[in-house]
A and B are shown apart, each in its own frame.
Chain A
Amino acid sequence: MNEALFSNQVIVFLLGESILFALLLVAFVVTLKVLVKWDFESFTPFQFALERQSYLVSTIILFVFILKFILVAYFIFSIDTLASLLPGAMCGAGVIKANDYGSYLLILKFFILFLLTLWLYVHFYDMRTKNHQWFKHKSWLFGLIFLFIVLELALNYAYFTNIDTHMPVSCCAALFGQLEGANPLPFGLSVPLLLVLFYLLYTLLILTLQSGYTILYVIANILFVFIAYYAVVYFFGTYIYQLPTHKCPFCMLQPEYYYVGYLLWGSLFMGSYIGLSDAVSMMWLGKKEMRSQKLVVVLLSIFVLLCTAYVSGYYIRNGVLL
């Protein structure tokens, strides 16, 4: 029997995903029906009924999408707890690599979260128009998201049913440890140049947010997330663990590090998602300016300050760097 599949966390997670999927399935079917017959200029009983249904469906989708954010956090928590069941796994990193589905599932979940945030923005704008101007945009976007969620559900089950608790997995040291002489950083960066790039990109993000260069902001944000991941794993994380050889994005989610990983990754991803969704919806819907600049600045600043604080705190206490 697959012990991982029948652990409490996994059962709760899969049940939660399945229930949310069922709700979204209903929403999808109704949305298709409404989309096909939608004519806002009509005042017939049928159109009024469609509008009531679309309001109901939007409410369901909004509710489910908000819960999806919580479920992703719970997914990460669950795979972290599964580490104790898998030989060789010290944290979620090993559990994710327990089979071929894990990495794809994680990437897909993060991609879906971005699409959910985008839908929330389009929905927000749509509900503030007199004639549901962006109803069709919102509905097509939901249709696309639903397809990815179908894939995600299949991957969820495939992943958890294929975890072999007798097969050893790699720990994070093997997964993220540097090969002798080999450089895992992108663009052939060294760690000092990685940090320079990290702070330069953060500066560019703040400047472009304030001055309205939206396309440049989008590019900078995507690049920042990419570089920030490496910066956290290969530099800042070592100061969280206070061990120069400990390079892992998952271990910082554990209680011995005060769950700081949730705040760290949460502020990075939420800041990026909100900013990107705001920018994309602004360009897509023809809006004049972004709404969430302050929130994005605050979230990303929390992320950068937290990373910097660990390094400076270590230096202040010990007088040296790792």
Chain B
Amino acid sequence: MTGNTMIQIENLYRTYHHEGNEVPVLKDINLTIEQGECVIFKGVSGSGKTTLLSLIAGLDKPSAGKVLIEDEPISKLPDLFASELRAKKIGMIFQHFNLFEHLTVNENVTLPLIPSGLKIKEIHEKVDNALNLANIIHKKDIVASRLSGGEKQRTAIARALVADPKIILCDEPTANLDRDNSLLFIDILEELHRMEKTIVIATHDPLFDNLSFNTTIVPMIDGKIV
């Protein structure tokens, strides 16, 4: 870990309005995540982990408070700039993979680089690197719908890494995987940690309780950090 602050969260609140009622999902979250750190938000379903991850990614706007990525406040960024931020700095891995089922592995992983303006040769290089890292290169021409759960997850990892982001956000990454694939996933995480990526994981999987590499567990209950 280099000690530079990558993500800073100050007095963060998120409240939903449902049928005239206010539903507070996040309450006064304060957190600092250093570069290269691996942070795990642990909590049961409904504790606010996914919402917090969405706010860090700029996919949602808070009701109050700040989120800063490398000292840049992002909680008020218009969608145009938030998309740019995600394209350059953030890779996301979702619970349900969110792949385009009708596209091949190669095509799914290439997609994020299309608006980047890079030359075709550079794009191919980056895609192959990402596929190698995620150990899915041997399946690059297979349509996503024909992959197993673990292979889909590795494709999702490759897609998240292809733009070489500084931050990797994982939302319940092992929820749809068996134990063996979950362990494989954790191995890849360890490799990413060695590459000094800042990793933030939202999960309630007990496999993440005692990882072999340095992690910070942040328990959450009812929208608060305990």
Contacts and interface: CB of A to CB of B under 8 A. Distances in A.
Given A43-B64, A48-B64, 9 more contacts: A43-B66, A43-B75, A45-B15, A45-B64, A48-B63, A127-B78, A127-B80, A129-B78, A130-B77
A40 interface: yes
The residue in B64, B80, B81 that gathers the most chain A C-beta atoms within 10 A of its C-beta is B64
Contacts of A45: 13, 15, 63-64
Contacts of A37: none
The secondary structure that dominates the A interface is loop
Contacts of A43: 10-11, 64-66, 75-76
A211 interface: no
Interface of A: 40, 43-45, 48, 51, 127-131
B62 interface: yes
B64 A128 contact: no
B105 to A, nearest CB: 35
A232 to B, nearest CB: 41
A257 to B, nearest CB: 44
B61 interface: yes
A266 to B, nearest CB: 31
Given A40-B76, A43-B11, A48 B62 contact: yes
A48 B61 contact: yes
Nearest to B10: A43
Contacts of A40: 76
5 contacts: A43-B10, A43-B11, A43-B75, A129-B78, A131-B76
A44 B75 CA distance: 12
Nearest to B79: A127
Given A40-B76, A43-B75, A51-B76, A130 B61 contact: no
Nearest to A42: B64
A128 B82 CA distance: 12
B78 A130 contact: yes
A48 B66 CA distance: 11
Contacts of B62: 48
Contacts of A130: 76-78, 81
Given A44-B64, A48-B62, A48-B63, A128 B80 contact: yes
Nearest to A131: B76
A45 B15 CA distance: 10
Interface in B56-89: 61-66, 75-78, 80-81
Contacts of A129: 78
B2 to A, nearest CB: 26
Contacts of A131: 76
